[in-house]
Structure 1
Amino acid sequence: MSQNQNKRVSSRERLQELHRVEKAAAKRRQRIVVAVSSVAVLALIGGVTLAITSAKKDDKPTAASALVIPANATGDGGTVITLGKADAPHTMEVYEDFRCPVCKHFEAANGATTAKLTEDGQIKVDYHLAAFLDKNLTGKGSHYALAAAGAALNEGVDKFKAFHDVLYANQPDEREDGFGDVNHLLDLAGQVPGLKTDAFVKAVQDGTYLPWANKVAEKFNDSGVTGTPTVKVDGKPISLFAGNAVVSPEQFTAQVKQAAGLQ
């Protein structure tokens, strides 16, 4: 087998393993949701709420600040980030977790294509961001990255998208909680021209948007989506993998346009 073939096999095996890890994480999350639901039923019967509060408390970091919704947030309660024209006739929904290794592969392959599909005004992209991997993998990086992304969104949708892309390009190994360090997040923000304003830095350091990140993550938990990445167009699921590889930009574009009836 040639060196190039060895590299292709190695990449394919790595992708298969990442996909397996993410599927396993999704199954664990389903079990957590079922367990919390069971506690909720018992609480309704017995009039006890402490168990539910305790079960949820470990899932999310807390901040002293009250809920602050970033400027430019959209959707129910400001829990969505919209890229493209708000009145576009078709909607692509993208469900991701900043610590999700398979999301990184999807973004590397089709992140630019996702943005490009909004350019003619026919499709807008709604990002629904999760943080369940903090519980599955332990840590707080998903929540902290999401809060920092909220600070970027407050600076502008373009700043959010650029920071979103930087986070995925610099995603730490899934076994590490690199995004749990706000100083590291601020270092990465330095890669986005004009993002590190005094207001942005203060918001990240103070955890201004952590309550918002918790709210966004809870909204994802209520969405019925059980794994990341997930992409839907006008409610129709899009296949992100073809065999053992991420779909090409051409394949992804064709699926999106077909689902939106633009072909």
Structure 2
Amino acid sequence: MSQDKNKKRVSARERIQEAQRREQQAAKRRQRIVVAVSAVAVLALAGGVAVAVNSASAKDDKNSASASAQLVVPANVSGDNGTVITYGKADAPHTMEIYEDFRCPVCKHFEAANGETVKKLTEDGRIKVNFHLASFLDKNLGGKGSRTALAAAGAALNEGVDKFKAFHDVLYANQPDEREDGFGDVNHILELAGQVPGLKTDAFVKAVTDKTYAPWAAKVADAFNDSGVTGTPTVKVDGKTVNLFVGNSVATPEQFTAQVKQAAGLQ
């Protein structure tokens, strides 16, 4: 009887070891991080993990591929070196900081749950939103989707802050699986831009096609890497971190709004 139990234990251990070996091989093929990011996304949906983890190597990624091109900064930027995108009234007394990567699956979940709430919170002029955008998932997952989407977002920003916000929302609503580099296809990016009324001007299409804002996107990503934020999405209000998950589920718009107002000292 005890021998049977020992055999079962050995068999179970062997199965675990084999599963671990296969997982390690798969992780290497996907540049080690995709499994972790996917797991975080699933856990976030199921019960309380709030961020997609930024890899330790992300801060070392300075997006040097675009460094040699001419730096063109889009209109309507803010912050140090024009790397911040401000939505809402620039002189609003309170500031919400949102840190995101367009390929981050948990960011998509946050945007689906509370993206519209973020917009509503700016409407009375007391809160503005500063977007800090990243591209670390390109290095972690392979591809260029984060950088391509970020550069296209710069082209949208050049057309207007409202155009940027609408394009930002379309990108998250149509985010591909993080293991796929769907945003790396410029033609696909332009197709998605067609969902934003008035965005696809000749200037916008040329800027996206010519990658005019790729060097700027690299600077924006560098600023994120230097921010000290270790995961996406991260939301802070007047320097205080907002919990994006409450208990075992994502914060409802009411819960998110209450946290934001409490952090800002608003009624």
Q: TM-score, normalised by structure 2?
A: 0.80
Give the superposition deviation at 1:63: 7.4
> Which residue in the other structure is 2:70 paired with?
66
8 A Cα contact 2:77 2:84, kept in partner: yes
**Of 85, 88, 94, which aligns to 2:92?**
88
> Which residue in the other structure is 2:246 paired with?
242
> Which residue in the other structure is 1:22 paired with?
52
Give the superposition deviation at 1:32: 5.0
* Aligned 1:46-195 pairs, distance under 5 A: 56=61, 59=63, 61-62=65-66, 65-195=69-199
Deviates more, 1:207-216 or 1:62-71: 62-71
8 A Cα contact 1:85 1:124, kept in partner: yes
SS in 1 for 2:132: strand
8 A Cα contact 2:49 2:245, kept in partner: no
Task: State how far apart, in whole Å, the 2-side matches of 1:21 and 1:88 are.
Answer: 27
SS in 1 for 2:95: strand
Give the superposition deviation at 1:243: 2.8
8 A Cα contact 2:112 2:173, kept in partner: yes
Matched to 2:207, the amino acid is A
Q: TM-score, normalised by structure 1?
A: 0.81
Matched to 1:66, the amino acid is Q
Give the superposition deviation at 1:175: 0.5
CA 111–19 in structure 1, closer or farther in 2 if over 3 Å, else same = same
8 A Cα contact 2:47 2:249, kept in partner: no
Q: Which runs of 5+ in 1 are unaligned?
A: 1-10, 37-55
Q: Segments of 4+ in structure 1 off by > 3 A?
A: 11-14, 16-21
Identity of aligned residues (%): 75
8 A Cα contact 2:100 2:134, kept in partner: yes
8 A Cα contact 1:98 1:171, kept in partner: yes
1:209 matched to 2:213: yes
Root-mean-square deviation (CA), in Å? 2.1
Give the superposition deviation at 1:139: 0.8
Deviates more, 1:75-84 or 1:61-70: 61-70
Give the superposition deviation at 1:15: 2.0
Larger gyration radius, structure 1 or structure 2: 2
Task: State how far apart, in whole Å, the 2-side matches of 1:16 and 1:31 are.
Answer: 28
CA 95–12 in structure 1, closer or farther in 2 if over 3 Å, else same = closer
Give the superposition deviation at 1:13: 5.8
8 A Cα contact 2:48 2:247, kept in partner: no
Summarize deviations over 1:39-58 as a string: whole Å, max 9, x none.
xxxxxxxxxxxxxxxxx46x
1:231 matched to 2:235: yes
Give the superposition deviation at 1:65: 3.9
SS in 2 for 1:111: helix
Give the superposition deviation at 1:19: 5.0
Aligned length: 227
Matched to 2:56, the amino acid is Q
Matched to 1:15, the amino acid is L
CA 16–87 in structure 1, closer or farther in 2 if over 3 Å, else same = same
CA 250–151 in structure 1, closer or farther in 2 if over 3 Å, else same = same
CA 172–251 in structure 1, closer or farther in 2 if over 3 Å, else same = same
Q: Which runs of 5+ in 2 are unaligned?
A: 1-40
Summarize deviations over 1:168-189 as a string: whole Å, max 9, x none.
0000001000000000000000
